[in-house]
Structure 1
Amino acid sequence: MAAHHHHHEHAGADLTRAAEATLVKAGEQWTTMRAQVFGALAGFDKPASAYDIADAVSKTEGRRVAANSVYRILDLFVGANLARRVESANAYVANAHPDCLHDCIFLVCDRCGQTTHIDDDSITGTVRNAAKGAGFVPVRPVIEVRGVCAECDQGSAQPAAGPGAS
């Protein structure tokens, strides 16, 4: 049986408040630019690159925002648990529960790019224990499963042939 862990998922203004509180608790400042980057990131429904976020903030601000500045902020956000990096896509998602530190498993659709985050402590614990057993100190396991989401797969699945089918 999978060991899922439960937490409160934040959304909208509540997510922004939770992110700000988590960053401040980590000893960092919640600046206007960081708020804008977080707001842009949280506004995407799929993982966003630093360039996507820079473009969104640039449009909102009416001035060009450099992707390098966004990368630095995203690195800070990942370190503070406000965002997660989807490694295989070189993109980021806002963490809907920044006040809960844990390992994530991402399901990444190769057709539409939708990324679903799931928690399963038994899987991530097994990965951490395997690393430790090999004499390695795991810091941040990255588990991503590439495939096709249920929405993209609708209609493309063939029914299995039953007994007696020719």
Structure 2
Amino acid sequence: MPRHDHHEHHGAALTQAAQATLERSGEQWTAMRARIFDALAGFDKPASAYDIAEAVSKSEGRRVAANSVYRILDLFVTANLVRRVESSNAYIANAHPGCLHDCIFLVCDVCGQTVHLDDDSVTAGVRHAAEAAGFSPERPVIEVRGRCADCD
């Protein structure tokens, strides 16, 4: 399927969509998972597990270990609630968690802003090339580094 538009969720609607998606996958939406998701969704740029742990620790008034955050983020990536920006080991909330696509990220090297695109016609070529080489692709991630329009 080529690039298309999604209904992107924000705020409480994003959290509700994430919860519904996680529960459909057979997992529970716990209070800690909700806090971690909400903290990540509150960042305007990709956030590391340490950034998220710090934000949750401040809001909770108690220390939350980055290891715990990593485990939950791994679950969220598997459930398509969160996308991982590989080159910076950071995460962004998926604004349309019910829709499965390969990742294309546009990462600004100046300000760090990261935009996620869905264009299956691009990633289909990557999948085809991998299969032609005898490789079974599971999760293609394409990152394009450069400058955003605001920094250019």
* TM-score, shorter chain, exceeding 0.5: yes
Residue 99 (structure 2) aligns with:
100
The answer to whether the 8 Å contact 1:5/1:121 transfers is: no
Aligned-partner SS, 2:75: helix
Within 5 Å, which residues of 2 pair with 1:75-90? 75-90=74-89
TM-score, normalisation: structure 1: 0.90
Deviation at 1:120, TM superposition (A): 1.1
Measured in 2, the distance between the counterparts of 1:48 and 1:81 equals: 16
CA–CA distance in 2 between the matches of 1:9 and 1:84?
14
Quote the Cα distance in structure 2 between the aligned partners of 1:86 and 1:15.
19
Q: Unpaired runs of 5+ in structure 1?
A: 154-166
Q: Give the deviation of 1:22 after TM superposition.
A: 0.3
Please, what TM-score do these two structures have when normalized by structure 2?
0.98
Q: Kindly indicate whether the alpha-carbon contact (under 8 Å) linking 1:106 and 1:144 is maintained by their aligned counterparts in 2.
A: yes
Counterpart in the other structure of 2:44: 45
**1:121, CA displacement in angstroms?**
1.1
In the other structure, the counterpart of 2:6 is: 7
Give yes or no for the alignment of 1:68 onto 2:64: no
1:145 alignment partner, SS class? strand
**1:136 lines up with 2:135 in the alignment:** yes
- Give the conservation status (yes or no) of the 8 Å contact 1:47–1:91: yes
Q: Match for 1:144: what amino acid?
A: E
One-letter amino acid of the structure 1 residue matched with residue 147 of structure 2: V
Aligned length: 152
What amino acid sits opposite 2:16 in the alignment? R
Letter of the structure 2 residue corresponding to residue 42 of structure 1 = A
Query: How far off is 1:32 after superposition?
Result: 0.2
| Identical amino acids, percent of aligned pairs | 77
Q: Over aligned residues, Cα RMSD in angstroms?
A: 1.0
Partners of 2:42 and 2:67 in 1: CA distance: 20
Structure 2 unaligned regions, length at least 5: none
